[in-house]
Amino acid sequence: MRCHPVSKHRLGMRMQIATFLACVLVFGGLGAADKASAQVAATTTEIHKILFLGNSITLHGPAPAIGWSGNWGMAASAPEKDFVHLVTSSLAKTAGTAPEVMVKNVAEFERQYASYDVAEKLADALGFRAELVVVALGENVPSLDSDEAKIRFGSSLKQLLRGLTSDNRPIIIVRSCFWPNQAKDQILKQTCREAGGIFVDIGNLSKDESNYARSERKFDHTGVAAHPGDRGMQAIANAILEAIEAQRGKRTEK
């Protein structure tokens, strides 16, 4: 599995992790011990690296069989139009410098979560040591139609988030599914909360037909057409950026 670098610059992004903490109280919640540890880390750590883990909405290479020729988030019309690039460019503009970014498609985790070896298959992502991680998955997870399946998915997701937070304690943002699924979204939300992350609910976006790529241009493949288009990608990016902005506002009020 290959990573897709958005930027090779390694200039430091002057954004304190402290600016993220207030929003955790809105979208997730930390235990007392985790709050204390995070507050200590916030005074010394800056964001230089961002890791995006997701599925085709995050990154999909060329697939001629389904009429997709891009190598970015399906089905944005250009790289700069997908939510990864939109979030990154907005944060870089605010900070005045560009972070180093790693983007990975982890659809295999979704489909084979019960047997997926996080340490082995995501060694490069774990070694990247990002200060900010955006987890955008769930759509490809098979239907969780039994308690056993729900427990298994939750356990695998916990293992994934645990691996990402074991060393440098990054800020974790987990978003809900673009195509809402109560069982999956509940587990994503709960697991995010337990990991001290920020949960961003984007489920309402799928209710607006204009957020689908098929509303913007014609696609031969219905699956590609059902992905968020440029408008949908912007809406996803806005939801993530608004979570960050909410924290800035709370911090300013203090």
pLDDT band at 237 (very low <50, low <70, confident <90, very high): very high
Would you state the structure tokens that stand for residue 168, as one six-digit string? 């440098």
CB atoms within 10 A of CB 37: 14
Q: Strand, helix or coil at 166? A: coil
13-253 adopts what CATH topology? Answer: Rossmann fold (3.40.50)
Radius of gyration of the chain from Cα atoms?
17
CA 122 to chain centre: 15
Residues 6+ positions from 42 with CB-CB distance below 8 Å = 16, 17, 18, 20, 21
> CA-to-CA distance for 17 and 34, rounded, in angstroms?
14
The domain ranges of the chain are 13-253
Q: Tally helices (H) and strands (E) across the chain.
A: 10, 7
- What does the pLDDT read at residue 254? 55
Kindly indicate the confidence band of residue 252, based on its pLDDT and cuts at 50, 70 and 90: low
Give the pLDDT of residue 167.
73
pLDDT band at 94 (very low <50, low <70, confident <90, very high): confident
How many angstroms from the chain centroid is the CA of residue 173? 6
Give the CA distances from residue 119 to residues 161, 162, 166, 198, in Å, rounded to whole numbers and listed in that order: 11, 11, 11, 23
* Average pLDDT estimate for 104-133: 95
What does the pLDDT read at residue 145? 95
Q: How confident is the model at residue 76 (pLDDT cuts 50, 70, 90)?
A: very high
Higher pLDDT, 149 or 7: 149
The confidence score (pLDDT) of residue 89 equals 95
What mean pLDDT, rounded, does the chain reach?
Answer: 83
Distance CA 65, CA 46 (A): 43
Q: Please give the pLDDT value at position 247.
A: 52
Task: Please name the amino acid found at residue 135.
Answer: V
User: Is 32 a residue whose pLDDT tops 50?
Assistant: no
Q: How many C-beta atoms lie closer than 10 Å to residue 86's C-beta?
A: 22
Q: Residue 60 pLDDT more than 70?
A: yes
Q: What is the H or E stretch that residue 104 is in?
A: strand 100-105
pLDDT at 96: 85
* 190-206 confidence digits (pLDDT tens): 999 999 999 999 999 99
- What's the token pair of residue 40? 């200590």
pLDDT at 38: 40
- What does the angle CA 153 – CA 156 – CA 161 come to, to the nearest 5 degrees? 120
- 185: its two tokens: 């979204």
Residue 230 reports pLDDT greater than 60 = yes
Residues of the chain above pLDDT 70, percent: 78
CA angle, corner 123, sides to 43 and 118, nearest 5? 95
Burial of 80 (0-12, 13-18, 19+ CB in 10 A): middle
Q: How confident is the model at residue 40 (pLDDT cuts 50, 70, 90)?
A: very low
Using one digit for the tens of pLDDT, what is the confidence trace for 140-182?
Answer: 999 999 999 999 999 999 999 999 987 778 889 999 999 999 9
Average the pLDDT over 105-112 and give the result.
98
The residues, ordered by sequence, that sit 6+ positions from 67 with a Cβ below 8 Å of its Cβ are: 219, 220, 221, 224
